[in-house]
């Protein structure tokens, strides 16, 4: 341990720094770095505080232990700070040393030389093995003094002069003999108090341990008690009823606080397999047997071997903090939804009829007149289409208890926002490409109520194929796509300059096209839009995988002014709340009833990938 009575009268000791151990700041104290400080006395302070003289709690005698580190023998002064530090150490509340060094010479992170200027007792040191492992209780007169050791491992046993490490062999090795010698020297050095006076000044829990140990030794020396009351029939546990440090042996210790032989055996087992010292094992036992912890969460198994600080300090760690008050939605890109819903033409009436007169036939043409001939009336056909509305909805329910327990944000408003976002996305999808559900599905948004632009009748939507070979590259498909859009544009009869709705994949491949010398053909999306003769290009995530006539949809080109939405004017979008008293649940419904259809012939184009051609090459 390094305890040596020749060092004088000290209160506690331990390694102030250990060699070849990585400290929390990344430094490593190398062998011999502080060897020249051996024999030096430096101030003992609290937590490296140097603000005033009252911060000095005593002094420390330094001793170099070759190959291990620097050991320190601490003596506290008679100031309030010194008394407090001594009490904190002796009670086991503080177990760590830390040093302050000047004139430090480093090689990278290795400390090769330095002068220790002060030693501090700290809550948690930088060097994890710089710990207080010994403290002293001084006797008086001819009575021996007691040394208490707090080892990192091993079992504590009773020896003549105090506590020491148990030897696993049959005899003592050289190190244990040296320790015994040091104990004898220490005993002769200071004789201030009687053993009884030293015992009386010990904390109550240490008195009980000492009394129990001595009592057990006396029992064993007598061959065991013959008093049947002292031994229980069911387990044979002997209770120590006499304080060995009292003069009247017949006085019994009260039942409260009595330690049985089995209790002491448990403490010793814990000291050996748990936290590593008799003191710590007793503290654990006292805590477990003195406080009713029913319904409380105790120390976890992961901290069973902790030898410093506060066990399960993680219980006091603050909770995780949310990066946002409300959970962020993980969903598809919905920017295109705003474009669709803002671009369509809306009317308050839900039932829509479109009437057209076909004047493309020859019978509708104006005719030349020949004098004397009869004039012939023109003939043209009237066409009509009606579209009825359908209800689209989102429904949700939440337990009232959950609403009351979630206090960080308005969970009901959050749920209603989600319902609105998803309802708008479903409407926009049905308008542009259809909802994608099977016609047999009960949830299907019927295509004769909200007519998808991509698959509308030939009178309204022009379908143009991008015909490529079966093994065509993505570059070949992009080139063919641009050509197909340009060629189909001449059939477009819609209002003004349309918008091109496509996928990110198609847009990316078009922007990556290069000329024969490696120059990009289109430097921006706007340049590509100009080449396609559209006002802008909008990517639609749900278009990926959409098909018309079993062909993948590459783009839908339309001016949304030509698509009429009937009945979805805002006031028709109902939001309803209800409460189920039987199940203590709130139910929410957001719905709209609407119709939708193109109202102008040849006002849209659907560009489809046709990869049924012969393989190239």
One DSSP character per residue, 155-189 reads -EEEETTEEEEPPSSSS--HHHHHHHHHHHHHHHH
Say if residue 610 is exposed, middle or buried (CB neighbours under 10 Å; 0-12, 13-18, 19+). middle
Average pLDDT over residues 155-169: 35
Closest CA to 443 of 392, 377, 514: 392
Closest CA to 130 of 252, 43, 265, 15: 15
Q: Do 232 and 333 fall into the same domain?
A: no
Average pLDDT over residues 45-55: 83
**pLDDT over threshold 60, residue 351:** yes
What is the rounded distance in angstroms from the CA atom of residue 16 to the CA atom of residue 33? 13
Q: Which of 28-42, 124-138, 212-226, 438-452 has the lowest average pLDDT?
A: 212-226
CA distances from 227 to 219, 223, 232, 238 (A): 12, 12, 10, 10
Closest CA to 458 of 565, 578, 598: 598
Q: Is residue 317 part of a domain?
A: no
Average pLDDT over residues 505-518: 93
Number of domains making up the chain: 3
How many Cα atoms sit within 13 Å of 172 on the Cβ side? 12
Q: Phi and psi of 462, rounded to 5°?
A: -85, 130
Q: Do 207 and 185 fall into the same domain?
A: no
CA distances from 507 to 410, 492, 520, 529, 595 (A): 40, 21, 14, 10, 31
Element at 90 (helix H, strand E): helix 80-90
Tokens of 188: 């002769």
Q: Phi and psi of 312, rounded to 5°?
A: 60, 40
What is the rounded distance in angstroms from the CA atom of residue 378 to the CA atom of residue 613? 44
* Domain CATH number, residue 583: 3.30.2400.10
* Structure confidence at residue 47 (pLDDT): 85
Residues 146 and 193 sit within 8 Å (Cβ to Cβ): no
Give the three-class secondary structure for 26: coil
* Structure confidence at residue 226 (pLDDT): 46
Q: Do 188 and 243 fall into the same domain?
A: no
What is the maximum span of the chain, computed from C-alpha positions, in angstroms? 157
Q: Do 289 and 342 fall into the same domain?
A: no
**pLDDT over threshold 50, residue 253:** no
What is the number of H-type helices and E-type strands within the chain? 12, 24
**pLDDT over threshold 50, residue 172:** no
Q: Is residue 378 part of a domain?
A: yes
Q: Do 179 and 229 fall into the same domain?
A: no
Q: Is residue 312 part of a domain?
A: no
Q: Residue for token digits 């295509």?
A: 447
CA distances from 64 to 71, 102, 556, 567, 586 (A): 6, 17, 84, 91, 74
* Structure confidence at residue 22 (pLDDT): 84
* Domain CATH number, residue 194: 3.20.16
What is the rounded distance in angstroms from the CA atom of residue 201 to the CA atom of residue 499? 92
Closest CA to 466 of 452, 486, 492: 486
Q: Do 183 and 219 fall into the same domain?
A: no
Tokens of 453: 């632009």
Tens of pLDDT, residues 452-505: 999 999 989 999 999 999 899 999 999 999 999 999 999 999 999 999 999 999
Helices 204-222 and 261-273, axial angle in degrees (round to 10): 110
Q: Do 144 and 281 fall into the same domain?
A: no
CA distances from 547 to 183, 221, 258, 477 (A): 92, 96, 84, 17
Structural domain ending residue among the three candidates 273, 293, 313: 293
Structural domain ending residue among the three candidates 150, 166, 200: 200
Structural domain ending residue among the three candidates 200, 228, 257: 200
Query: Residue 11's Cα: distance from chain center in Å?
Result: 45
Q: Is residue 180 part of a domain?
A: yes
Annotate 109-129 with three-state secondary structure. Answer: CEEEEEEEEEEEEECCCCCCC
CA distances from 368 to 365, 372, 380 (A): 10, 12, 18
pLDDT-based confidence at residue 367 (cuts at 50, 70, 90):
confident
* Structure confidence at residue 150 (pLDDT): 43
Q: Do 332 and 478 fall into the same domain?
A: yes
Give the three-class secondary structure for 372: coil
Residues 35 and 92 sit within 8 Å (Cβ to Cβ): no
* Structure confidence at residue 547 (pLDDT): 94
- The more confidently predicted of residues 379 and 65 is 65
What is the rounded distance in angstroms from the CA atom of residue 482 to the CA atom of residue 397? 48
- Distance in angstroms between the alpha carbons of the first and the last residue of the chain: 86
Q: Is residue 136 part of a domain?
A: yes
pLDDT-based confidence at residue 380 (cuts at 50, 70, 90):
low
Query: Residue 178's Cα: distance from chain center in Å?
Result: 52
- The more confidently predicted of residues 384 and 131 is 131
> Which structural domain, as residue segments, surrounds residue 221?
202-293
- The more confidently predicted of residues 406 and 523 is 523
Q: Do 92 and 51 fall into the same domain?
A: yes
Q: Is residue 308 part of a domain?
A: no
Rg of the chain over CA atoms, in angstroms?
45
* Structure confidence at residue 468 (pLDDT): 93
**pLDDT over threshold 60, residue 110:** yes
Q: Do 93 and 226 fall into the same domain?
A: no
By percentage, how much of the chain surpasses pLDDT 90? 30
Cα–Cα–Cα angle for 309, 313, 316, rounded to 5 degrees: 140
Q: Do 263 and 348 fall into the same domain?
A: no
Tokens of 509: 């491949």
Q: Do 183 and 232 fall into the same domain?
A: no
Q: Is residue 303 part of a domain?
A: no
Q: Which of 76-90, 303-317, 421-435, 593-607 has the lowest average pLDDT?
A: 303-317
* Structure confidence at residue 149 (pLDDT): 44
pLDDT-based confidence at residue 278 (cuts at 50, 70, 90):
low
Q: Is residue 306 part of a domain?
A: no
What is the rounded distance in angstroms from the CA atom of residue 357 to the CA atom of residue 337? 33
* Structure confidence at residue 241 (pLDDT): 42
339: number of Cβ within 10 Å: 18
């Amino acid at each position: 341990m390094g305890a040596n009575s020749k060092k004088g009268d000290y209160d506690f000791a331990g390694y102030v720094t250990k060699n070849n151990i990585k400290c929390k700041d990344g430094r490593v104290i190398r062998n011999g770095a502080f060897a020249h400080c051996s024999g030096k006395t430096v101030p003992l302070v609290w937590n490296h505080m140097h603000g005033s003289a009252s911060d000095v709690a005593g002094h420390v005698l330094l001793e170099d232990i070759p190959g291990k580190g620097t050991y320190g023998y601490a003596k506290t002064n008679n100031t309030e700070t010194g008394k407090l530090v001594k009490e904190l150490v002796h009670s086991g509340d503080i177990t760590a040393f830390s040093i302050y060094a000047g004139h430090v010479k480093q090689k990278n992170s290795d400390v090769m030389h330095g002068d220790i200027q002060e030693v501090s007792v700290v809550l948690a040191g930088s060097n994890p093995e710089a710990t207080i492992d010994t403290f002293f209780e001084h006797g008086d007169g001819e009575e021996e003094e007691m040394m208490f050791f707090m080892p990192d491992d091993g079992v504590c046993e009773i020896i003549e002069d105090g506590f020491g490490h148990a030897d696993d062999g049959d005899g003592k090795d050289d190190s244990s003999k040296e320790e015994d010698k040091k104990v004898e020297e220490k005993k002769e050095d200071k004789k201030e108090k009687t053993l009884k006076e030293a015992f009386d000044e010990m904390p109550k829990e240490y008195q009980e341990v000492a009394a129990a140990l001595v009592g057990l030794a006396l029992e064993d020396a007598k061959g065991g008690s013959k008093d049947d009351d002292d031994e229980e029939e069911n387990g044979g546990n002997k209770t120590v009823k006499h304080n060995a440090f009292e003069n009247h042996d017949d006085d019994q210790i009260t039942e409260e606080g009595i330690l049985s032989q089995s209790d002491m055996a448990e403490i010793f087992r814990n000291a050996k397999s748990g936290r590593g010292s008799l003191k710590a094992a007793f503290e654990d036992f006292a805590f477990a047997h003195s406080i009713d912890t029913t319904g409380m969460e105790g120390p976890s198994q992961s901290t069973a071997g902790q030898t410093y600080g506060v066990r399960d300090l993680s219980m006091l760690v603050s909770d995780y903090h949310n990066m946002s008050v409300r959970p962020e939605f993980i969903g598809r890109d919905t920017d295109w939804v705003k474009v669709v819903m803002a671009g369509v033409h809306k009317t308050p009436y839900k039932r829509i009829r479109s009437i057209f007169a076909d004047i493309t036939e020859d019978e509708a043409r104006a005719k030349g007149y020949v004098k004397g001939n009869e004039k012939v009336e023109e003939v043209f056909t009237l066409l009509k289409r009606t579209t009825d509305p359908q209800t689209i909805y989102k429904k949700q329910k939440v337990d009232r208890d959950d609403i009351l327990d979630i206090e960080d944000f308005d969970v009901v408003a959050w749920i209603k926002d989600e319902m609105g976002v998803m309802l708008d996305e479903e409407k926009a999808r049905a308008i542009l490409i259809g909802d994608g559900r099977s016609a047999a599905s009960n949830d299907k948004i019927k295509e004769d109520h909200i007519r998808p632009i991509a698959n509308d009748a030939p009178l309204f939507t022009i379908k143009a194929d991008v015909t490529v070979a079966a093994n065509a590259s993505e570059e070949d498909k992009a080139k063919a796509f641009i050509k197909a859009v340009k060629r189909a544009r001449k059939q477009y009869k819609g209002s003004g300059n349309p918008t091109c709705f496509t996928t990110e994949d198609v847009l990316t491949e078009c922007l990556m096209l290069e000329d024969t010398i490696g120059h990009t053909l289109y430097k921006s999306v706007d340049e590509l839009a100009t080449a396609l003769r559209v006002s802008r290009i909008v990517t639609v995530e749900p278009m990926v995988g959409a098909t018309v006539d079993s062909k993948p949809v590459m783009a839908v080109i339309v001016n949304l002014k030509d698509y009429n939405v009937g009945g979805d004017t805002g006031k028709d979008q109902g939001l309803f709340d209800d409460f189920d008293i039987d199940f203590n649940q709130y139910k929410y419904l957001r719905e709209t009833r609407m119709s939708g259809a193109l109202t102008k012939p040849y006002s849209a184009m659907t560009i489809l990938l046709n990869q049924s051609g012969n393989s190239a090459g």
